[in-house]
Chain A
């Protein structure tokens, strides 16, 4: 009965580097969401997967951000040429099939610090 897990829990990188953040959703959950939470703010939506496909990527801030979910379970958020403004906690959530009556279960997040 594991929940949503995210690795690493903390990531420190230098400006300009590439990073990958991983999310392991609850087994059997087809819907997976990525959110970004900056200091003092609520989470902001980045991208939503239904199975293997990105159903809504309207929240990705620019083309440096990309996410995949090749087998419909684990997802990876990829950030190229990181900037200091990318520093935030990146949260992943999964739900059984998506939609407002399915509870979104959140992981503990990855705190990304760009120096």
Chain B
């Protein structure tokens, strides 16, 4: 079974600064996909970024980028120029190849401080 671990229950960052959220995972699969989801207080989960394990290049979406280290099974999220609207729970998630469900970590609560 796959497991996803987020070791930082809470983090805070000053507005306009950069913050990195950590995620590690355990799997015996060679092909898989990794995700970061954001869950604001409204509860609606929103996909932030996706990484295919077979791609060596780290994914980037505007202010969000990942550091994917396949050998270390590590998948961290970097948020640059943090904004107040980034305040939310952030979940790291794993999906195997094929039509399989997402496996989520426990989340990191990020607070952006003005």
Name 24 A/B residue pairs within 8 A (Cβ), A-sorted. Answer: A33-B102, A35-B102, A41-B106, A41-B107, A42-B4, A42-B91, A43-B91, A44-B104, A45-B101, A45-B102, A55-B99, A56-B99, A89-B43, A98-B99, A99-B98, A99-B99, A100-B95, A101-B52, A104-B47, A106-B37, A106-B44, A106-B45, A106-B46, A107-B44
Whether A103 sits at the interface, judged by CB under 8 Å, is: yes
Which of the four size classes fits the interface of chain B?
20 to 34
Taking a contact as CB atoms closer than 8 A, the residue among B32, B45, B52, B98 that contacts A43 in the complex is: B45
Contact A43 B102 (CB under 8 A): yes
Count, A-B residue pairs, CB within 8 A: 63
Known: A42-B104, A91-B45, A100-B52. 12 other contacts (CB 8 A): A3-B44, A31-B99, A35-B102, A40-B106, A42-B91, A45-B101, A93-B45, A98-B99, A100-B50, A100-B96, A100-B100, A107-B44
Whether B97 sits at the interface, judged by CB under 8 Å, is: yes
Which of the four size classes fits the interface of chain A?
20 to 34
